[in-house]
Every structure is written in structure tokens, then in C-alpha cells.
């Protein structure tokens, strides 16, 4: 937490400065209100900050005991029509982003304390910046390079000739395998494996012949990779994750995929090999993306959707059957099994009606 907290005015000034003036808030109420942490509207108290980004929670905002609430202008007008509120109101165009930046100010990430644990194993030919930190039982192999202020957590593995960029943190147990690279200010959570072999096998007489996976994984700056996510190395070329990508837990990225800058991917998504996902996409949890296809920049894909063909134009795509009772599902499934037969019957009826009209 930032010392003993910050006033609303201090938070607003810090966020305006950190965004170079792109995110400016108007304060309605007491700018000296002291805030020490963030909390949900329902449980927040006078020293905590809440936010309202969805009109469904308007009643919760009205009843909240939060010391300050961040919201947009329309929500402020509809939620507090008299302009009066027990909480200090922080009005801006992007309340969720303002709230996130305020949370960072109130609970900053721990600073890296440089050092090398005696229990770590660091190859002589590895290059470790003097400001980096290597924790207990981490392994840094020959030719690896660890950048300034990087933090390699306990039990991590950095393979031969791998590279970790400045201010990037590998949480305990993360794996960055041989030759793979990650840029600056990245976060790799525990259990993630970057650079395992891609799933490449050639059939021969009922058996499968392994294809050597000789490419790398190349990850840009400001990328976050969730716990137990796996990103396979390329078969020959590289698997590429561009700048600013955010990946949740337990995602599988196949070999030779390319994920465009600032795309966000929720948990349990599976992406087969050689798929290309554009910039600024949003992919919901448990979506499945087949290999050798492309998804246009700015595409949104709903949770649980199967993407089986290229998406050439940005849009909001959904491909699942809505929830229903099991009894209704069984009835509908029975109809679907006979869909081809029903289609043929309709075609015959249409042809008969057409003949009658012609007569």
C-alpha cells in the first residue's frame, strides 16, 4: 500500500500524470478524502474506493458507504440526480481504467531487491544484470540473459540462450525454455511453460513420427501470462506474442501461432497451431480456435465458441447453444439428428407449392 494511503486529489493528480493527461477526472465532493484501499461497493467503508461501471449496480452505489466512487458522467447524473452524495464522486470517461490505476497507486507492486540466492544455479556464461534478482533454486542456463530489475522467482527455469527483458517478473515455478525470449515489464505466473515442443507428428504406417520443433517463442513487451498457461515453440519459424497481450490461466497456444498486440484471452482457451489472431481482439473463456486460420483485428469472441474458419472482418461472434434444461436439450437434440431429413421434406413441399402456383 502507498504509505498510509492517498487523498482523492493526490490519486487524481498521479493518474493524470501517469497517463500524460489522457485520463482526467473531475472531483465532486471532498478532494481531501483519505483513501487507503479499494473495495466492492457493497462492502466498502469510508477509507475505501469503489467504482460504478455498470448501471445494474446503481442501487449498490447509492447505498454504498465507500469514501469515494469513480464513475462516468452519465452514471453520476442518473445515480445521484440531486448531485449530492455521501461519497466523494470521481467523474471520468473511463472509470474502470481509472479505478485500476488507482488500485496500482494504493497497492504498488513490490520493488525488486537485487541479489542472487546462493541456492540458485547460474551458468558461468549467463549474463545477469546487477540490478536483477534470482531467488532460491532458480536455474539460469548457459548463454541466458537476464535484464535490469528482472525478478526470477524461486524454482524458475530459464533455458540456454533464453532472454528475460528489463523489469520482467517470473513467478515461482515458471519455465522459459531454451532460446525463447520475453520483453520488458512482462509477468509470467507460476506453472506457465513457454517453449515446450509443439504438437507435430507425421503419420507412417499407423505410427506417428515426431517432427523436431526447432523454432522459438518470441514475446514482446508488457505481456502477462497466467498460471499454467503453455505456449509451444515453433516447428521451424517462431511462435510470436506481440506487445501488450494479456493471457489468463490455463491457456494453450500451439506452435507457430501469432497473437496480435493488446489482445486479451480469458482462461482455458485452446489455440491450435499456426493460427493468427489479430491486434486488439477479445477472446472469451474456453473458446476453441482451430489451426491455420486468421482472426481479424478487433474481433470479439464469446466464451465457449468454436472458431472453425477464418474471420475476415471484425465483429462480435458467438457459436454455442444456449443453456436449457436437460429435458428440453434432449428434445431439441432429437430434432437436430433429423435435420437433413426435415430439410429435404421442406424442399419437396416448396417444389410442390411452386408447381401448384405455376398451374
* 193-196, strands of its sheet edge to edge: 121-122, 139-140, 157-158, 175-176, 193-196, 230-232, 252-253, 270-271, 288-289, 306-307
Give Cα 198 to chain centroid, integer Å.
Answer: 22
| Residues noted as catalytic | 255
Do 66 and 45 touch, CB atoms closer than 8 A?
yes
Pairwise CA distance, residues 183 & 221, whole Å: 4
Pairwise CA distance, residues 88 & 90, whole Å: 7
Tell me which residue of 110, 27, 286, 18 sits closest to 8, measured CA to CA: 27
SS3 162: coil
Tell me which residue of 79, 68, 161 sits closest to 106, measured CA to CA: 68
Tracing cell 504406417 back to the chain, one arrives at 205
SS3 226: coil
Alpha helices per DSSP H over the chain: 8-18, 58-63, 73-79, 95-106, 326-337, 339-358
Amino acid at each position: 500500500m502507498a504509505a498510509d494511503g492517498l487523498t482523492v486529489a493526490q490519486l487524481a493528480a498521479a493518474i493524470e500524470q501517469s497517463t500524460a493527461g489522457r485520463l482526467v477526472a473531475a472531483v465532486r465532493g471532498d478532494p481531501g478524502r483519505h483513501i487507503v484501499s479499494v473495495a466492492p461497493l457493497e462492502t466498502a467503508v469510508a477509507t475505501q474506493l469503489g467504482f460504478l461501471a455498470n448501471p445494474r449496480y446503481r442501487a449498490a452505489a447509492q447505498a454504498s458507504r465507500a469514501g469515494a466512487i469513480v464513475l462516468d458522467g452519465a452514471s453520476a447524473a442518473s445515480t445521484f440526480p440531486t448531485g449530492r452524495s455521501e461519497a466523494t464522486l470521481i467523474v471520468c470517461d473511463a472509470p474502470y481504467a481509472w479505478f485500476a490505476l488507482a488500485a496500482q497507486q494504493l497497492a504498488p507492486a513490490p520493488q525488486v531487491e537485487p541479489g542472487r540466492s546462493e541456492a540458485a544455479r547460474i551458468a558461468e556464461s549467463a549474463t545477469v544484470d546487477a540490478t536483477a534478482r534470482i531467488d532460491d533454486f532458480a536455474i539460469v542456463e548457459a548463454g541466458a540473459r537476464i535484464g535490469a530489475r528482472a525478478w526470477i522467482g524461486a524454482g524458475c527455469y530459464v533455458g540456454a540462450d533464453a532472454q528475460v527483458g528489463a523489469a520482467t517478473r517470473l513467478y515461482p515455478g515458471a519455465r522459459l525454455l531454451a532460446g525463447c525470449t520475453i520483453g520488458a515489464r512482462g509477468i509470467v505466473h507460476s506453472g506457465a511453460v513457454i517453449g515446450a515442443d509443439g504438437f507435430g507428428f507425421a503419420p507412417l504406417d499407423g505410427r506417428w513420427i515426431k517432427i523436431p520443433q526447432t523454432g522459438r517463442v518470441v514475446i514482446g513487451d508488457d505481456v502477462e501470462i497466467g498460471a499454467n498457461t503453455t505456449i509451444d515453440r515453433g516447428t521451424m519459424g517462431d511462435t510470436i506474442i506481440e506487445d501488450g497481450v494479456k493471457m489468463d490461466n490455463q491457456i494453450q497456444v500451439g506452435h507457430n501461432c501469432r497473437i496480435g498486440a493488446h489482445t486479451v484471452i480469458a482462461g482455458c482457451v485452446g489455440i491450435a497451431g499456426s493460427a493468427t489472431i489479430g491486434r486488439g481482439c477479445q477472446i472469451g473463456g474456453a473458446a476453441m480456435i482451430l489451426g491455420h486460420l486468421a482472426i481479424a483485428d478487433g474481433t470479439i469472441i464469446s466464451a465457449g465458441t468454436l472458431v472453425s474458419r477464418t474471420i475476415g472482418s471484425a465483429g462480435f461472434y458467438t457459436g454455442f447453444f444456449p443453456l436449457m434444461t436437460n429435458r428440453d436439450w434432449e428434445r431439441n437434440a432429437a430434432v437436430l439428428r433429423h435435420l437433413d431429413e426435415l430439410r429435404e421434406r421442406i424442399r419437396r413441399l416448396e417444389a410442390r407449392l411452386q408447381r401448384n402456383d405455376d398451374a
